[in-house]
Structure 1
Amino acid sequence: MTSENSNAPTLERVHHELKRRDLEAKSVERLTPSMIRVILIGEDLADFTSLAADDHMKLFVPDASGMMVMRDYTPRAYDNEARTLTVDFAVHDAGPATAWALSAKPGDRLQVGGPRGSAVLKGDIARYVLIADETGLPALGRWVEELGADVEVEAFAAVPGAEDEQDFQSDAKLTMHWIHRSEKEAARPEPFLNAVKTVSCGEGTYIWIAAEARVAKAIRSFFLEERKHPLQWMKAAGYWVHGQADSSEKSIGGSSAKPA
């Protein structure tokens, strides 16, 4: 078990210039049955900045009445030189951002704002345990792909079926677990808890959780109460709230945040 005071990691809050960017869809791909990938392009991306895999930016999309609304999404990948930004859309509801992605085609326009800031993880971390459902999968995938060869990663991702699994390229020592459960079970913690009950939480292990809010809280409680894993070595976020449209709980608890 990781010690409470063994150089616990911290989250350093780095603020970015808040800017709205007018972009164009370069390509639209049905990555899996439950995920759509849109690559956006535009000169406004020359100074785009995202320093953490679980950053969130705002997408401005029309709702059913035609009014523009904002929705939070992860910058899955970006390339300042190529002026590209990749966004993955989980097809799990009928919200306005999902509706935009389902009908999107090359040449369509989309405005993006932020990220307002990044919570950069600092500390001596030897091993990561990453846990996510479809909504957290873009952040998990980016994290896995950006980690170096000197760390171990054990990742758990919940998707409806085998056809929804993704391939990640990582220099890290990656062990990937896919949890298959129906969309009707997306707000139940049991599939996750059954999958992680024997996971190793040794010295220097950092646990990151992104799922439905009550599911994320249940997983966090399991590691905190049953496995006695220190709160400072965890971060949990509710990327959506069952029964509440367009809701989230991004700060359930975990590593302390310090301003830059």
Structure 2
Amino acid sequence: MSSDTPVSRVQRVRHELKRRSVEVVRVETLSPHFRSITFTGEALGDFVSSSFDDHVKFMFDEDTAEPVRRDYTPRRYDTAARELTIEFAVHSEGRAAQWAAQARPGQQVTIGGPRGSFIIPTDFDWHLLVGDETALPAINRRLEELPAGSRAIVVLQVADVADRRDLASAADIDMQWVETADAMLDAVRALDLPGGDGYAWCAGEANSMASLRRLLVEEKGMDRHAMRVAAYWKRNASAHHENLAD
């Protein structure tokens, strides 16, 4: 086991906060309820995303009193092409989801950030990744980043089987798909977590994530510094994003 504590091994990096005007260049349907939208623009020339759980502020106006401002994970970024890809869940009735459902090349939006990055090393003995469909892009990106020889335990709550996809990784993956928040908690509760130096990253609905954090700390005995738990959304609230544990 590493002599460093988990909290000392992660790194916080601040980035210069910028707003960038970008244009839709490609739209791809990934599954019935997910669309991948790629943006381009000269303003992306100095874009930086150092961590899989970074978030950018996606912004557009609809000639209404309340412009749309929502947080999304940078799924991938191509420096040479100056292209940024974001994956949107489009089954909800939210305004950003509605925009994504009709997105087409040539449309203009604004991207803000990332404000900073929380960089979790890839060399932990094991990685626990848990979340609902809003966490799917970040978990997908993380799995792509993990090197051969690493171990990932993944529990993903995605109700529609048609939205579940193969997640590529060089790591050794133990994957579970579940349909509900309760099933997600039950799956984590049933895990026999490995020994050694591990780290848990979890994201999803606020109440579910609060319960998951308690489960990991109180039932699984994990160090609260060996996890990052984020509320990506909250039932009956809009534009909610909160880190429950660092």
Aligned residues: 243
Whether contact under 8 Å (1:23, 1:42) holds in the other structure is yes
CA RMSD of aligned residues (A): 1.9
Normalising by structure 1, we get a TM-score of 0.87
Aligned twin of 2:205: 212
Amino acid at match of 1:86: T
Whether contact under 8 Å (2:133, 2:157) holds in the other structure is yes
Aligned twin of 2:4: 7
Amino acid at match of 1:193: L
Correspondence 1:79-90 to 2 at 5 A: 79-90=78-89
What is the aligned counterpart of 2:226 among 233, 237, 244?
233
Aligned twin of 1:192: 184
Aligned twin of 2:90: 91
Per-residue displacement from partner, 1:136-183 (whole Å, max 9, x unpaired)? 1111111111111131011111112210102222111122211124xx
Whether contact under 8 Å (2:71, 2:241) holds in the other structure is no
Per-residue displacement from partner, 1:208-246 (whole Å, max 9, x unpaired)? 110101101111111111111111111101101111122
Aligned twin of 1:106: 105
Distance 1:123 1:6 in 2: 16
2:214 match: secondary structure: helix
1:92 deviates by 4.4
2:120 match: secondary structure: strand
Q: Quick one: percent identity of the two aligned structures?
A: 38
Amino acid at match of 1:62: D
Distance 2:190 2:117 in 1: 32
2:239 match: secondary structure: coil
1:123 deviates by 8.0
Normalising by structure 2, we get a TM-score of 0.92
1:136 match: secondary structure: helix
Whether contact under 8 Å (1:61, 1:96) holds in the other structure is no
Are residues 1:153 and 2:148 paired?
A: no
Whether contact under 8 Å (2:69, 2:239) holds in the other structure is no
- Structure 2: runs of 5+ lacking an equivalent: none
Are residues 1:244 and 2:237 paired?
A: yes
Amino acid at match of 1:228: G
1:93 deviates by 2.5
- Structure 1: runs of 5+ lacking an equivalent: 182-188, 255-260
- Cα distance change, pair 123–80 in 1 and its aligned pair in 2 (3 A): closer
